[in-house]
Every structure is written in structure tokens, then in C-alpha cells.
Chains A and B, each alone.
Chain A
């Protein structure tokens, strides 16, 4: 079990950086629950 197991995640992505779906994919096997995930565009 990873240290994120059982935790809730809030993921804020950026289009020209790391978008949130990419972060979701990274955390998919961490055992954490994605409570909120969104990508924003700051330009």
C-alpha cells in the first residue's frame, strides 16, 4: 500500500504544463481517491 492509500486528492492541472487527466493516470494505482480534478488555462 502506498502512502497515498485512502487519501483524497484534489488535482489542478494546466494545459501547457501537466493536465489533470495526466495526473489522474499517474495516481491511478496509488490507492488514493480523486475527489476533484480539473484542468485550467491561465493564458
Chain B
């Protein structure tokens, strides 16, 4: 059985409500179409502050300051019933405030695209110096700053975009070309912001995994941004740009895209590299997406609740050769949504969940936890999009009933036991199964869980080149799980074992005959 080890994982949030207000797609398009709208006028009244964000239970679960199992016991709505004690840090990462995020944008900028206002740079520098993961090579990249008048001139005369903190302009992002819209200030701002998330995720991943930056051999980046100019829009390699800032001097990299299914596909690509021996230590990372900030804010404001989509998410996973000491990804039971599978929900669930399990002789109840589309329900339900993870778990349970593996009366119990509450920001690729990897490997290491399935789904049709969606899945197990689980031996493996035994008997008989 081909396997790779999962050495570590990282998860961070960047609390960026002012980026959300000015550049999230929903408020931004409203500003162009209806600048005097009630929604825009009211939106600032429904901001969740940083102090509230670090007390919001789903955010704390995401960064590993709370366990996933704690969520069903919380009093709803959690945005009103905040945790008594907030935490910037969790075992997987941190919730970074917006001023530090803007400073990190400047640190990650190698083309003098970001200009910081000089007093802002002075004020934020000590915070960056105090950050436990930023070293000299990062801090020296922080610019001294520019006069506010120069920033205002860039905005007024050269299409730069202002960045705000406490409702004041503290920086701007400049365009990278006079006429190339792929290098406009807006596109570059989104790309840089995603790069920042990738860098933060990679630095936390290195720390969490107990390795050094120089140990990383390859980075696969899997956000949903297109990096390039007018001649090669989407040319890519955000991965190497991230590795450079994180001091991964021995790493190269590439990008994998697949809308929200990108991360699961990227992890499978990374697993292939590790398992084949091409690269030993492969990091998979992704930053978040500015456009999705405040995506459902219109409905949140209508319902007089905080606009919760105020955090950009990011994550990292480090894969290494399976040495028996780490939870593993099984490569003999990978789910994929082939072209011919079609669009029917039960067919997709069958391809992604049931078929990979059947391949290794397992049933739906052999998986302790399923992780799919882990969007925080308090964000999506008020917006009319429903409880997305629960819908996915119900579909798995329903398939179980159809296949005779789950009693109809036990469907809700199946969903409760083997699903989970969503806790990730609605950042597209970020909630797509991968937020559970960190919690899964820790639960496996504590001996509390045996097997989890990570499921990613992507809406390819949004790109208008196909009506298809996509998906992929993989199974995480404790090291050596196959050896101890008789049920997990496939028919082919049984055949191989029998053939080996028969071959040994034949050799033995031949030897005996020669003696005679």
C-alpha cells in the first residue's frame, strides 16, 4: 500500500474588515452600482472587531485554540455568545490583525507595489519585530514609508488603491503596468494578499512540523488566484514566491488549481511527489481571497448581525515519506470525480466517498470522521445558502441508506457522529475539507480517532469553460493502520498474499524433490 506521512499542518486567519469593506466583491460592486445604498451605509455598523474575532469560537477552532468537538456544545449564535477569553494563537496558527497584515503585505512585496504611510510604518514595526516567526530577513524588507501626500497622489493620479486601518489611509497598492489589466493595482492587491496568507501559513507550518525552512524541498500552492501578465494570465508559481519570503532556499514549487477542490488535488499531487521519491519534504499551502470577504454581508446586515466574513483564511500541510511515526494518507483509496460521473449528487458522493472505500474493502461506517465543505453555518444559513457541511454529510448518510450500510432511522446519528460543525471562513478553497487535517492528525496521534476522509469539491462551471464540477478525496489513517485492520485488506492484496504463499510452497516442494 502506497502511503505518505503528514508531518504537520498550519491554519491562520487574517482579520481584515477594512479590506472587506473596500474590496470585498459584494460591497465593492455595490459601491459602483448603488453608491448611496442602504446596505453600504449600514455595513460599518455591523463590523466584528478584532477583539470579538479572537473570541469567536469557529475562528478559535480553525487555528486550533479550541477542539472541533467543542462546537456542538456552544450556545448559538456564537457571534453573540463569544468565548470569555480570546486567543490570538492556537496550536496551528494565529489570528493576525489588519495593521500587521498590511505590514506583511509590504514585507512580501518585491516590486515596490506597496507603499506604507511613514507614521504607520513606524507604529507597526515593533509589532512585526515582536512576531515570533518573523526574522531579520523578513523585518529588513519592511519599508520606512512614504509621506501621506505621496500616497494620496499615487491614488489620485496613478490608479493606486488605498489601504485603510482604523478608517484612515495607511498605505496603497500601486499598479504594475500602465495598460495591462492583469497587473492593475486591484489584481496585484488580491495576489499579494493571497501571497501573504501563503507565507504566514508556510512559516507556521515549518514551526509546527519541527523542521527548518531549508528542509522544505518543494512547495505546492493551491489558492484561486491567477498570477501573470497580459501575455500569460495565470502563468503562476505563487508557490516559489511564497517560499522565497519564508527563507525556503532549497525549495522550488508550482501551483495547482481546481477552484475549491484545489487543495485536496494539490495534496494528492504532493503525496505523489513524496511517495515516488521525487521530493522528500513537500509543503502544500494556500492564502485566502479578498473578493470573498463580506460576500454574504448584504444578508447579514439585513438580519442585523455582524458581517462575519471578515477573515482571510490560509493553511499549510507538510508531507514526508511514511516512516511509521506519523498519520498517513493512503494512496490506494483516492476519490475522484471523473468526467463521466455526471452531476447527480448521489453519483458525485458515490465517486468521492463510497468507491474509494469499496476499493480497499471498507464501508461508510469504517470512517470515523468525514470533512467536506466546512463553512461556518452562522455565515451561510442567514444568507440562504444553508448548512453546507451538514448537507454534504446528509448526502453521505443517504448514500449509506441506499447501499444498506446505514439504517434509515440512524441517518441523523450518522451525521452527528461522523460529520462535524463547520468552522472555516467562506473563503472558497479554504473550507474545502482541508481545515480538518490538523485536528485529524492530532486526534489520531492521541489515539482518539482511527480514520478520517477529507473531501474537496470545486465549482469549475464558474469559469464558463465547462458545466462540470470537480472533486477529490483521500483517507487519513494512523500509521500502521492497515496492518492492524483486517477489514482493510483488499481482494487483490489477498490474491497477492495467496500467490506468495503458493510460490513459497512450490519452491519448498521443488527443494524437497531435489533432495530426494
Q: Report if A and B associate in a common complex.
A: yes
Chain A interface residues toward B at CB < 8 A = 13-22, 25, 38-43
Q: Given the known inter-chain contacts A15-B469, A16-B457, please indicate yes or no for A21 contacting B383, CB distance below 8 A.
A: no
Smallest Cβ distance from B395 to chain A, in angstroms?
8
Q: Given the known inter-chain contacts A39-B469, A43-B380, A43-B428, please indicate yes or no for A22 contacting B343, CB distance below 8 A.
A: yes
Least CB separation from A17: chain B residue: B391
Smallest Cβ distance from B475 to chain A, in angstroms?
21
Q: From the candidates A13, A19, A43, name the one contacting B385 in the complex (CB within 8 A).
A: A43
Smallest Cβ distance from A7 to chain B, in angstroms?
22
Q: Give the residues in chain B near A20, CB-CB below 8 Å.
A: 343, 467
Q: Give the residues in chain A near B375, CB-CB below 8 Å.
A: 43
27 pairs from A and B in contact (CB 8 Å cutoff)? A13-B343, A14-B385, A15-B469, A16-B391, A17-B345, A17-B386, A18-B345, A19-B343, A20-B467, A21-B342, A21-B343, A21-B467, A22-B342, A22-B343, A25-B344, A38-B461, A39-B343, A39-B461, A39-B467, A40-B462, A41-B260, A41-B459, A41-B461, A41-B462, A42-B384, A43-B380, A43-B385
Smallest Cβ distance from B174 to chain A, in angstroms?
32
C-alpha gap A34/B227 in the complex (Å) = 38
Q: Give the residues in chain A near B469, CB-CB below 8 Å.
A: 15, 19, 39
C-alpha gap A21/B474 in the complex (Å) = 26
Of residues A13, A18, A22, A25, which shows the largest number of chain B Cβ atoms within 10 Å of its Cβ? A22
C-alpha gap A40/B388 in the complex (Å) = 14
Contact A39 B345 (CB under 8 A): no
Q: Given the known inter-chain contacts A42-B385, A43-B373, please indicate yes or no for A15 contacting B457, CB distance below 8 A.
A: yes
User: With an 8 A cutoff between CB atoms, is B392 at the interface?
Assistant: yes
Contact A43 B391 (CB under 8 A): no
Least CB separation from B384: chain A residue: A42
Of residues A15, A20, A41, which shows the largest number of chain B Cβ atoms within 10 Å of its Cβ? A15
C-alpha gap A14/B385 in the complex (Å) = 9
C-alpha gap A13/B462 in the complex (Å) = 12
Within 8 A of A (CB), among B373-391: 373, 375, 380, 383-386, 388, 391
Q: Give the residues in chain B near A25, CB-CB below 8 Å.
A: 342, 344
User: With an 8 A cutoff between CB atoms, is B431 at the interface?
Assistant: yes
Contact A19 B345 (CB under 8 A): yes
Q: Give the residues in chain B near A39, CB-CB below 8 Å.
A: 343, 459, 461, 467, 469
Q: Considering the complex of A and B, which 8 residue pairs feature the smallest CB-CB distances, nearest first?
A: A41-B459, A21-B343, A42-B385, A19-B343, A22-B344, A22-B343, A15-B459, A43-B426
Q: Given the known inter-chain contacts A39-B459, A41-B459, A43-B380, please indicate yes or no for A16 contacting B388, CB distance below 8 A.
A: yes
Q: Given the known inter-chain contacts A16-B373, A16-B392, A17-B391, please indicate yes or no for A43 contacting B431, CB distance below 8 A.
A: yes
Contact A43 B388 (CB under 8 A): yes
Smallest Cβ distance from A42 to chain B, in angstroms?
4
What mask results when residues 311 to 347 of chain B are scored 1 for a CB within 8 Å of chain A, else 0?
0000000000000000000000000000000111100
C-alpha gap A40/B464 in the complex (Å) = 11
C-alpha gap A16/B388 in the complex (Å) = 7
Q: Give the residues in chain B near A13, CB-CB below 8 Å.
A: 343
Q: Give the residues in chain A near B459, CB-CB below 8 Å.
A: 15, 39-41
